[in-house]
Every structure is written in structure tokens, then in C-alpha cells.
A and B are shown apart, each in its own frame.
Chain A
Amino acid sequence: MKKEDTVKLISAEGFEFVIDKNAAMVSQTIRNMLTSPGDFAETEHQEVTFPEISTTILEKICQYFYWSLQYASGKETEFHIEPELTLELMMAANYLHT
């Protein structure tokens, strides 16, 4: 995987997730961060820090990005979410505009 095709997402605890750019861009917010004109720090370093998202949730989110890329076209598969994560995940989704 080429460096320029990936992006680094960093959780509140400092965990780094390196994922495909187009997977990350499932999130409208991340897409804006990476493509907005002008040189925001995120665009420059190709990494985004989320001080309010925990590692667990960010991991789930990354999983969702890939799932979405693969199945969003309407295939009948389920994305498994542990009930205890639901609320936080929904809030993160709102934040990330996913």
C-alpha cells in the first residue's frame, strides 16, 4: 500500500490506525479534512487525531468503513455492533457524518 493512499487515524488514547484513504473517506468529515483547500494540518500530515474517540470505538469505526465500502451497495449482510458500544458509536457517527 502506498503511503499517499493511506491515512492515519489516532484515537484519544494515542492508538494509530492506518487505513485506506478511500475507506476513511466514507466519513464526510474526514473527507473534508483531507480535501479542504488550504493547508490544514491534517491534509499536510495525512493523519487525524480524535481526542474524543476511544480506541475501541475508533477500531469499530474503521471496521465499519471497510464494511461500508464493500457492502454499501445494498448487499444483505449485517455489521455486528456490540450493544454496549451502540450509543458512543452513534455519537461518533454523528460527529464523523457517516
Chain B
Amino acid sequence: MSSQKKRNFQIEAFKHRVVVDPKYAEKTWKILEHAIHEIYNHNASGLSFEELYRNAYNMVLHKFGEKLYSGLVSTMTLHLKEIAASVDASQGPLFLEELNRKWMEHNKALQMIRDILMYMDRTFIPSTHKTPVHELGLNLWRDNIIHSINIQTRLKDTLLEIVQKERGGEVINKGLMRNIVKMLMDLGPTVYQNDFEKPFLDVSATFYRGESQQFIECCDCGDYLKKAEKRLNEEIERVSHYLDAKSEVKITNVVEKEMIETQMTRLVHMENSGLVNMIVDDKYEDLSRMYNLFRRVPTGLMLIRDVMTSHIRETGKQLVTDPERLKDPVDFVQRLLDEKDKHDKIINLAFNNDKTFQNALNSSFEYFINLNPRSPEFISLFVDDKLRKGLKGVSEEDVEIVLDKVMMLFRYLQEKDVFEKYYKQHLAKRLLSGKSVSEDAERSLILKLKTECGYQFTSKLEGMFTDMKTSQDTMQGFYEAMGPALSDGPTLTVHVLTTGSWPTQSTTTCNLPPEILSVCDKFRTYYLGTHNGRRLTWQTNMGSADIKATFARGQKHELNVSTYQMCVLMLFNNADRLSYKEIEQAVEIPAMELKRCLQSLACAKGKNVLRKEPMSKDIGEDDEFYFNDKFSSKFYKVKIGTVVAQKESEPEKQETRQRVEEDRKPQIEAAIVRIMKARRVLDHNNIVAEVTKQLQSRFLPNPVVIKKRIESLIEREFLERDREDRKLYRYLA
């Protein structure tokens, strides 16, 4: 209350009764003591709060606070002892209810007592550092009831028994449990922890240890996980229903440890139902459950990841080394893609898109794809197949998806330059035979390769496209210039290919038929007339021709053949029967190629425009060939395929390999020089490491090769060895 200015100050006589009666304190206390008894006996309705408050107030004011306080303690203790006895006497299931009822009553009484003794709480207790009334009441309850010998263990056992009953599926009185547990929490965290939580956790651990043993013996992995998940959720629910929220972590830790951690290795490797089986059978739900449960324990995810990785590596290894699979490269790559899709889906659906799992998947793929040295070739063949026919009538987005997948596999390759080699070959074939389904798709893939590996990687590929384009223009110009002079000769289409951009092929000779030769010469004259100082050579091994042929009964067909085949067929315009030798002399095609070409003309069933004597699968030096005028076909246009293995044959493979190795040499040298230019002096191991790092986006250089390149550079005086330390190299400007 704020007071006013002091004027006319006058102290009035003290109105409170001055204590004269020596028994005053005793008397007043008796009144209060009586009131406390009445309160505990639910008889408070007649009492005057004001009177009790005033008495307590006066006692404190007149220095009888100590008496009031000790009186309160002893009176309350007396009542609590009575309560303890009555709780103790309660029968079996009524025990908790009685305890709860008494606790409610005590709380209410305590509240009333505190209210009437509020003045003591406010002034006497803080100044004498005593326990405030409310806390005092709780402490006395704790000491006299909860910690009384009979009640303490009985309470603990009863609570644990109820929890156990609930675990067993019985319905329990959750409200009562909540009240009792709340009481323990109200009495202070230590009471809750010592009298309930600790024994609860111990009992739970024992229970779950036993249960997990039992489950693991009789359940498969999926069922076990379901049960463990159910138990875990039950415990979490229990906490939310009637335990302290802080207990959640503790009890879930117990379940995690007993049901998951101790059994997880066995679970993961469980026969017929473990992790590997789940992955194989695409059990997303089970996998997801396993992920979420194992995530709770420290090494759980690592375990899953390791097992998954070794599984992928194992199946991947089988896939890439299975000789059966190697027969069909397209199928081989498709299987790789399927495998990748499968695991991507698992990680996405079941493993929460976990980054570490994705990395594990990627490294596994990288590992096993590179186990097979032919992977780059097969991937390129896969693209080839897709771009030739696989993508026909597929929407642009789907094309992109396929290409992106291919790029993903490409990323795993260590020998990207080998891929480039093959890709170039396959691209060349596609472009020259006009077989590519979509130029957009081709360009899109090249763009992807460019973003992945840089300009260098794709410049030649792009050069090929440019050549195709300029050739078109050149042809247009040629026909415009020549005009009617060419009208009755064969139509010639020339692709002018820049040397270097295209896969180099050893130039093979071939005698073109005179009709063709004359047109070719015209073109040569025209081209060299417009482009000075260039050299043209004919790559007859890469060409194709459409020729019209008339068979018996006037049946006409248009035959789509290679240039070599065309040369051979043209010979039969003038002769009905030719021996192998005669043909060879006339066309001068290398024997290997000629045999192949004849094989496809004479031996392919249903497409044999030639007949051969003797009839056999293979071409011999002494064979004779006839024109097969009985040839017939449903179609007007007939494509005569060449017998070429789609895959490379063994010697070709060796050749490509060698070319790749050759191409790597200058790249390694360039990298060494770049590094040495910057570092000036460096020791051998560091050079090897740096070179490997620089080149790993294209291939993994072999240290032995690097060493050889260094030696070659020393010979050519780009580098020198340090005079003192032979391991050190110096750069010579």
C-alpha cells in the first residue's frame, strides 16, 4: 500500500492483543491443532478461515513460530502414520486405489493447511530456512508412506506387475497408474527414479531379453521386426499414457538394446528371410521397418549398409562375369540398369533415401562394372541399340530417361576413354548408314557426355556431326553443278569425313564397278575443285548401296547391301557363274572381308541372292558361285546383312585395346608435363598420384605406364633426375 506525505504524524495504540496470558501460545496452538485434525477428518466445513489464519498470524507475530512449525510437523506425521496403516491394511487390488485416494485427500488437506498457515510460510519459514509447508507435506508423505517398509516394496511390485499385465495384453486402469506415477513424480525426480523407473527398466530389460530370445528362435526376420516394432511402439505409448516423458528415451533404449542390438547380426543374416532375401524379393515394407528400427542403434545402419553392399557386389560380380550374359551386350546393360533401378527403388522407398546408402550403392556399381573390361564396349553397344531401333516411337522424355540412365552407368566406368573409342565407332556406323533414330537424341547424349567430361571428350564426336552436315551441302552442290550429266548413272552419296574425327580404319582397296567409279571420279574432281589442297580417299568398307535386281519370273527387288557386296553382285551382271578366285581377282577385297561378304550373300537362309557350290556354311577358296534366280521375298526391299559380329571379335578387341593404350600415352605425358611445369621438382610417387588424379575422369592410368612415360620424357629432355636424390625429378623448361 502506498503511503502519503507525512503530516501530523501520530502513532495509534497497538490494537492487537498484547500477550499477557503465559498459556496464550498453548491455547492458540490447541485451536490450530484441532483444526488440522478436523481437516484430516473432513470436518473443516464449520471452521472459520479468518480465525485460524488470525491465530497462526498472531503466533508467528508473537515469536511462537517455532512452536507452530514443530506442532505442524508432529500433527501431520501422526495423521500420516494412521494413513500408512490404513493403506497397508488394504487388500490386494484395492491397495493402489486406497493409496491414490489417501494421496488425494492428503493433497487437499495440505493445501488447506498451507492456506491457513500462509503467514508462517511467508515470513517465518524463509527467515529460519525451514522447508515450506507444501514441500514439508510431500516430504512427510514420502517418508511416512512411500518409504515405509511395508509399502515401499509392495508399491513397486504392484506397479511392475501391472505393467507386465499390460504387456501381456490385459486391460489395466491407466488412470490409476497415471495418478500413482504422478504422485511419485510430485515427490521429486529421485523418488520416481529410485522407486519406480530403475526397477522398471531392469525388469523390462530382463523381459525383453527373454522375449527376443524366444522370438528369434521361432520367427523369421520380417515377423521378428514386426514384433519388435510393436513392442517399441507399445513402450512409447505407455510412456505417453502414464509415465514421465523423460522415461521414453530410457525405456526405448532398453528395447532397442535387448530386441535389436543384441540380435541384429543374426537377424540380418537370417536364412531365407534375412536382409539379402528382403532385397531380392523387394520387400519394401520389411526393409523400411528394418531401417527404422536399426537406425535407433549405433551400428545398425552400418550393418545393413555393409550387408547390402556385399550383396550388390556379389550379384553384380556374378552378372558381369557370367559368360552367358556376355553374349548379349544389350541384355547385359539392361540387366545392369534393372539392378540399379531395383536398388534405387529400395533405397528410395525403404531406406529413406539415405545418402550413405546411395553412396554405398554407387561404389558397389563402380566396383563390379569395372571388373569386366568389356563394360565400356557393352554400354556403348547398348546405346547403339537404343539409338538404332530401341527408341523408335518413344517420347522425348522417355528418351531422356534412358540416356540419363546410360550416363549413370557411364559415370561408374573407370576407363571412360575406352567407352569413347567404342562410342565413336558405333556412332560412325550409325551416321554413315543413316540408322540413327533421332538426331536430337544423339546430340542430347553428346551434350551429356560433354557436361560430364568436358569439351575435349566430345569435340571429335561433334566433328562427326559437322561432317555429316557439310556433306549434305556438298552433295547438293555437286548435283546442282553436274546437273543432267549424271541423270542416267547411279546416284552417289558421299560423306566427306575429316581424318581424326572419325575412327581410323586402315584403307582397304576395292575395285569399284566402272559405273560407280566414273561418278566417284566426277565427284572427286568437283570436290577438289572447290576445296584446294585436300586429299580424298574412298572408305569402301564403310559404304552401302541399294541395287535393283531382277530375278526369275520377272520378280524385282531392291537389295540393300554393303559396298563390298555391291561390287560382288555387279560382277554377276556379266557372268552367271564365278569362282572364288575370279571374284577375288576382280574386286580385290581383302580375303577376310570378302569371305564375310560372300557368306552373307550365299549362306544366309532366305536372303541368299547367290548360290554356292558346294553347299556349306563356310566359304572355301575353291568354291563356285551362281546367281540365284529363284530368290524370292515377300518384301520389295531386302536388306542383306553383313555377317559381322555385333560384338567385337577377339583380335579386334585386342586392336582396340592397343589403340586405347596408344592414345593414353600422350595424355599421360601431357598430364606429367602440366604437373611438373607447376611443381618444378617432385618425387616419383607424388607424380603418379597427381597424374592418376588428373586423369581419373577419363581412365585409371597404370603406374607402370606412367613410369615409362616419365622415362620417355627424360629421354626427350623434358625432365631430368635430381643428381643427389634419384627419386626426384626436375622440370626442364
Contact = CB atoms under 8 A, between A and B. Distances in A.
Contact of A29 (B6, B112, B118): B118
A46 interface: no
A93 B109 CA distance: 27
Interface in A38-68: 38-44, 48-52, 54, 64
Nearest to B118: A32
Contact of B45 (A39, A80, A89, A91): A39
Contacts of B122: 97
Given A28-B118, A36-B111, A88-B15, A50 B50 contact: yes
Interface string B90-124: 00000000000000000011011001101100100
Contacts of B1: 64, 79, 81, 89-90, 93, 98
A79 B54 CA distance: 27
Contact of B2 (A37, A49, A78, A84): A78
Given A36-B111, A37-B108, A84 B50 contact: no
Question: What bracket does the count of chain A residues touching chain B fall in?
Answer: 35 or more
A83 interface: yes
B16 A52 contact: yes
B49 A32 contact: yes
Contacts of A98: 1
A35 B49 CA distance: 11
B8 A29 contact: no
Question: What bracket does the count of chain B residues touching chain A fall in?
Answer: 35 or more
B154 to A, nearest CB: 29
Contacts of B678: none
Interface string B38-53: 0100101111111001
Contacts of B3: 81, 86, 90
Nearest to A33: B49
B574 interface: no
A5 interface: no
A43 B3 CA distance: 31
Nearest to B52: A40
Interface in B502-534: none
A42 B4 contact: no
A4 interface: no
A90 B15 CA distance: 12
A87 interface: yes
Contact of A84 (B10, B15, B111): B10
A28 to B, nearest CB: 7
B55 to A, nearest CB: 11
Interface in A1-20: none
B365 to A, nearest CB: 71
A49 B50 contact: yes
B9 interface: yes
Nearest to B10: A84
Nearest to B39: A38
Contacts of B718: none
Given A39-B44, A52-B54, A97-B118, A83 B49 contact: no
Contacts of A50: 50
A43 to B, nearest CB: 8
Contact of B49 (A36, A52, A90, A91): A36
A37 B113 CA distance: 10
Contacts of B116: 32, 36
Contacts of A86: 3-4, 9
Nearest to B45: A39
A95 B119 CA distance: 8
Contact of A36 (B4, B8, B42, B112): B112
A16 to B, nearest CB: 15
Nearest to B38: A38
Interface in B115-159: 115-116, 118-119, 122
Nearest to B5: A83
Interface string B1-32: 11111111111100110000000000000000
Contacts of B54: 51-52, 95
Contacts of A52: 15-16, 54
Nearest to A47: B50
A92 to B, nearest CB: 9
B485 to A, nearest CB: 110
A43 B50 CA distance: 11
A83 B112 contact: no
B58 to A, nearest CB: 9
A97 B121 CA distance: 12
A1 to B, nearest CB: 23
A7 B136 CA distance: 32
B57 interface: yes
Interface in B663-694: none
B10 to A, nearest CB: 6
Contacts of B39: 38
B49 A41 contact: yes
B44 A40 contact: yes
Nearest to A10: B50
Nearest to A84: B10
A82 B1 CA distance: 13
A15 to B, nearest CB: 16
B111 A40 contact: no
A11 to B, nearest CB: 12
B11 to A, nearest CB: 6
Contacts of A43: 49
B49 A37 contact: no
8 contacts: A32-B118, A37-B108, A38-B108, A38-B109, A40-B47, A86-B9, A97-B118, A97-B119
Sorted from nearest, which 6 A-B pairs have the closest CB atoms? A39-B45, A40-B49, A38-B44, A36-B115, A32-B115, A33-B49
Interface of A: 28-29, 32-33, 36-44, 48-52, 54, 64, 78-84, 86-91, 93, 95, 97-98
